Structure 1
């Protein structure tokens, strides 16, 4: 019996020993896994220090080292979903993306093509699964946003429109981490795309800004005009008609469609939509101005054409002059409404004097001549 007890005790001691060895091995493995995460943090800190001192060689060296460590931590079951690992991954891969812009071909071999997607995904996961790094991520996103604005503005000023579009377009990849939308960046990306003659992409950016009601007085027209420049007139008109169907009391939509119709030389659509805009807002000066200037310009062009015809083309000349008077008739009322809002606009007053004279309306000619003289003083 005693021998049996001794055997059992020996067995238990052996089992305990094996268990202790296993625990030590697991602890060592866990420590090693955490160490990789710590190594990434330390290397990134060293990268930031080198960045502050302007040591470009050390900066790039430490960033590559940080990437190697965070990649190991990201493929390890113990740390891959750690908020710290995810936050660091977002920081490191964003830095890789930014340093890549410096154009060092050798360094850039270390930067994967999808660095931006990797960084954004890591930030988002860290932000969603834990509150521990929320303020850090918020600060990082805001810093990245400002850097991208600076980069985009500098590129735009240097006429590097593709780079500007990319910088402004990237802003919302990062603000999306915080569930925010920066409509100004979207608009600027559209402007950069348009300046790069990438009208389809410009239209898409503008459309996104329009859907967020950004600068409604100009964004609808910008969207439609970008479609027109891309040779997609049908999309321009369809976009505005769908917007009007959703918001039938939005004066900006009618103004945009009427103004686009001016570009398309569609008199009927110009009249219908600009008149609708001023029906909604009787003090809509821009709509009065566009409606009046459009038809006065058409009338003036016809009179110029009639004046250039030879004497034996009297019939054709008379027809052109008659049509010009019809256009002047369309122009008179909206321009009169406009000068009641902006009575010092010399150009419009001068046009009204000419239109009244052509229409043989001496009373109005005298009235607007008097206003013109006063405005010039």
Structure 2
């Protein structure tokens, strides 16, 4: 009898244990199917990949519903990985959202329970899929012009992929597009601390965002930092000069450049930057003149404008002496030589019909000034035949000397260049 009781007890124990082993088998099935999915995904085998992931999901759902296996760290880690990859594969926002949510919940539990770090690979796989899935979702949302949602998706992607510069950049772009300027600033501030390949552009955008927020102090600080990191980038130097003008600190920047030239008199770029300050100061006077009615003030502003164009011309010429093929200097020299001619021409158009002699004299003076600019304008188009700025300046010359056929011919070239872009 004792033997029979023991035998029956053993049989009952085996009978009761069978469902547990069966459910542990579902964890194994899920793991096996997920590993198959991973291997097939690497081989880019579409239909089989989908089938393997589906099997893995069915198995892990069964394991998650059984009280004996539902709380295992491995179960949560597998569910996080399987659901994360399923969410990543689902391109429809409405159906992928709950799958993302389930994956994220499982990931939190897996990290809490896996104190022995036995499921690190599964957790890493889940995080990589969640990061990529959020990134993919962000791209789709951005294309649909859902900029706020796109920003949130790109920002969420970074939670699972620390230091992902692409996600930061896209988040910044999305935030700016959605007029979430503070969010964009936050993303770009973090991005410029990395080695992101396009940080020169990020600095430019960040300075613009600060200006949008009317924060000229930080805009100028960012521009100055950008110039130090990218000293050869003329656009960033222009931005620093522009902001300095707005902040009333242009003299500080000019003093730095002039001081640098004393130690490096053969630096063509420094001459260009000095020229930019003088030419932009002159351009600033144009806006002031347009708003002023007092004749004496206008005369003083016009003189200061002409003086600054002359100083700019001197700086650009020095840069060209060092490098005759320096396009930026040639382009800008043409511009500052052309501008006084435009002023003379426009002033002539304001003369009354009774002052024909004065009109003729003004046009003759304007033509002389236009002709002085022509060699630089033509040189710029030769150095960079695809520069629309160069061709537009030359077109302005022909308008000024009243050669409409030539101006129209150049406009066709400009149209052709812009069509190719």
TM range, smaller chain = 0.5 to 0.7
Matched, 1:374 2:379: yes
1:328 aligns with 2:333: no
Contact persistence 2:175–2:183 (CA under 8 A)? yes
**Paired residue for 1:269, among 236, 249, 253?**
249
Shift of 1:199: 0.8
CA distance in 1 between counterparts of 2:110 and 2:253 reads 48
Aligned length: 341
Q: Deviations over 1:326-365 (max 9, x none)?
A: 543664455446655653456413223247989xxxxx99
**Cα deviations by residue, 1:176-231 (Å, 9 ceiling, x for unpaired):** 4xxxx321221122112111111111111111111113234232332233233234
Tell me the residue number matched to 1:34.
Answer: 24
CA apart distance, 1:52: 5.3
- 1:225-244 correspondence to structure 2 within 5 Å: 225-236=208-219
Q: 1:80 aligns with which of 69, 72, 85?
A: 72
- Aligned residue in 2 for 1:184: 166
CA gap 1:44/1:288 in 2 versus in 1, 3 angstroms: farther
What's the counterpart of residue 359 of structure 2? none
- Please, which of 70, 74, 90 is the counterpart of residue 81 of structure 2? 90
Counterpart of 2:279 in 1: which secondary structure? helix
Residue 217 (structure 1) aligned with residue 200 (structure 2): yes
- Other structure's SS at 1:211 match: coil
Q: Does 1:69 align with 2:62?
A: yes
Paired residue secondary structure (2:185): helix
Equivalent in the alignment of 1:5: none
Distance 1:100 1:376, change over 3 A: closer
**Contiguous gaps of at least 5 residues in structure 1:** 1-8, 359-363
CA RMSD after TM alignment: 5.5
Report the alpha carbon displacement of residue 273 of structure 1 after superposing the two structures with TM: 4.4
Residue 79 and residue 118 in structure 1: after superposition, are their counterparts in 2 closer, same or farther (change >3 A)? Answer: closer
Q: Please list, as runs of the form range in 1=range in 2, the aligned pairs for 1:6-155 lying within 5 A after superposition.
A: 20=10, 24=14, 27-28=17-18, 30-38=20-28, 40=30, 65=58, 68-69=61-62, 71-72=64-65, 80-82=72-74, 85-96=76-87, 99=90, 101-104=92-95, 111=99, 113=101, 115-116=103-104, 118-119=106-107, 122=110, 129-130=117-118, 133=121, 150-155=136-141
Match of 2:336 among 316, 335, 352: 352
2-side partners of 1:185 and 1:368: how far apart?
A: 47
State the distance in 2 between where 1:240 and 1:297 align.
17
1:174 counterpart residue number: 160
Number of the residue aligned with 1:343: 326
Task: Give distance in 2, aligned partners of 1:284 and 1:129.
Answer: 59
Per the alignment, residue 162 of structure 1 pairs with: 148
SS state at 2:94 partner: coil
What SS does the corresponding residue of 1:103 show, helix, strand or coil? helix
- Please say if residues 43 and 62 of structure 1, whose CA atoms lie closer than 8 Å, have aligned partners that are also in contact: yes
When the two structures are superposed, what TM-score results if normalisation uses the length of structure 2? 0.57
Q: In structure 2, how many angstroms separate the alpha carbons of the residues matched to 1:227 and 1:173?
A: 26
Structure 2 portions without partners, runs of 5+:
344-368, 383-421
1:254/1:273 contact within 8 Å kept = no
TM-score by length of 1: 0.63
Counterpart Cα distance in 1 of 2:109 and 2:176:
29
Q: How far 1:61 sits from its partner (Å)?
A: 9.1
Aligned CA distance change for structure 1 residues 66 and 200 (closer, same or farther; 3 Å): farther
- CA pair 208-132 structure 1, distance change in 2 beyond 3 A: closer
